[in-house]
Amino acid sequence: MEPWTNNDTMKKKRRPTRKPVRLRCSVKNYDWGILGHHSKVARLSALNSGSDIDPSKPYAEFWIGTHESGPSYADDPGSDHDPVSLKSWIARDPSVLGEKVLHKWGPDLPFLCKVLSVQKALSIQAHPDKEMARVLHKLHPSVYKDDNHKPEVALALTEFEALCGFTSLKELKEMLRTVPEIAELVGVVDAEKILLVGERHENGKVNTDLEAMFSRLMLSSKETISKIISRLKRRLNLEKKKRQLTVKEQLVLRLESQYPADVGAIAAFFLNYVKLKRGEALYCGPNEPHAYISGECVECMATSDNVVRAGLTSKQIDVQTLLSMLKYRQGAPEIMQGVSMNAYTKRFVPPFEEFEVDSCNLPHSASVVFPAVIGPSLFLVTGGKGRFDAGLAEDDVVTDDDIVEEGEVLFVPAHTKISITAISTELHLYRVGANSTFFRDL
């Protein structure tokens, strides 16, 4: 993205004087979401907007940000106008972003935040890097709606299951030995190439063979996949009477029950199965194959909605594009534990400058300070109630505007210090901002 400049704004170098503004956010009801009152997304959305929860409807995603696919709206009590989109609200006074963010990304947020409630697996997918995103957007703008990359971090609110990245050479060999249906499908020659690789192997050669096998699987006809899955299910259902099925075998059967005869169920054998505990996080970079399976999380990413899918979905798939862009790197993904910023806050920092995430859990009466930063922030309260102080009040009188509770989302302008005190048994919140490494050269 070309640096954004506005001579009047840059000359004045004025700092934002606006208070934090509350946001009304969008919700998505995709069929893989959790039904009604069981969904965290449903609860947050209802509390955020004052709407009712439909017990028969799946609630999948709660969007916080400026992306046109799910815009948030600024609820500005000082304005006589109806709520405007957060993107339009920022455009009225781009200085709320801070000079460096404005110069780098223009009058828009570089990050997007979501809450996900996953009942049924999401698609086998990957997100393109910037170069591929520009190409896809130019060729198919109705499908790939922006030209940005989408690295992302998922922070578990509950136990959270996912597939991410290709399995190690050791696990790949084991799979070829114990899943004859796949060994037959990918071909004896290709399978033997992997099985004969020694401990001291050439990564490039193994990755090429892995790519050939995975491509053969994903490009197989529906008829072939249906036959393979039928045989696999029949064998596993017989074997489970004699032995405990492996975790991966159980997972493949579960995925196939959700998406019958879908190639994505078999593709799971090639990918790392990850189970996050609450408070842990998973990072997925560009061109990394992954799929979320179940659980609830806060997900943060660069501002983009580009997804290339190849299975476990009723949405449009683009197998050839996915195969061409994937990284065939092997090995378990890193489980992020976060870095302690203070007694109550952990920070999750991905290797991209667009975003970082702070997770904060406050016991009753405890307080925490988020120092002023030179970029904007989004605050999401996922549980409890607290007093929110932006240091702008002239006295110590607490008003309704100072109280935040579950479901509330605030946009905080650059250069604004925030103090928060829990006034419930516990207060849980998340802060998303531009990556702190982005500001280090100032």
Give catalytic residue positions: 309
Question: Can you tell me the distance from the alpha carbon of 362 to that of 383, in angstroms, rounded to the nearest whole number?
Answer: 10
* Single-letter amino acid code for the residue at 178: T
Q: Which two tokens stand for residue 301?
A: 């990413």
Q: Which of 258, 265, 267 is nearest to 218 (CA)?
A: 267
Question: Can you tell me the distance from the alpha carbon of 425 to that of 271, in angstroms, rounded to the nearest whole number?
Answer: 40
Q: Residue count of the chain, please give it.
A: 442
Task: Annotate 386-419 with b (16+ C-beta within 10 A) or e (fewer).
Answer: bebbbeeeeeeeeeeeeebebbbbbbbbbbbebe
Kindly tell me the burial class for residue 244, based on how many C-beta atoms sit within 10 Å of its own C-beta (0-12, 13-18, 19 or more): exposed
Categorise residue 19: left if φ over 0, alpha if ψ from -120 to 50, beta otherwise.
beta
Q: Which of 322, 417, 333, 318 is nearest to 370 (CA)?
A: 417
Q: Which spans in 179-221 are helix H?
A: 180-186, 188-195, 203-218
**Cα separations (Å) of 430 from 167, 377, 427?**
32, 10, 10
Question: Can you tell me the distance from the alpha carbon of 224 to that of 266, in angstroms, rounded to the nearest whole number?
Answer: 12
- Phi (first) and psi of residue 319, to 5 degrees: -65, -45
Q: Which residues partner with 347 through β-bridges?
A: 339, 358
**Cα separations (Å) of 17 from 20, 338, 373, 410, 432?**
10, 32, 14, 15, 20
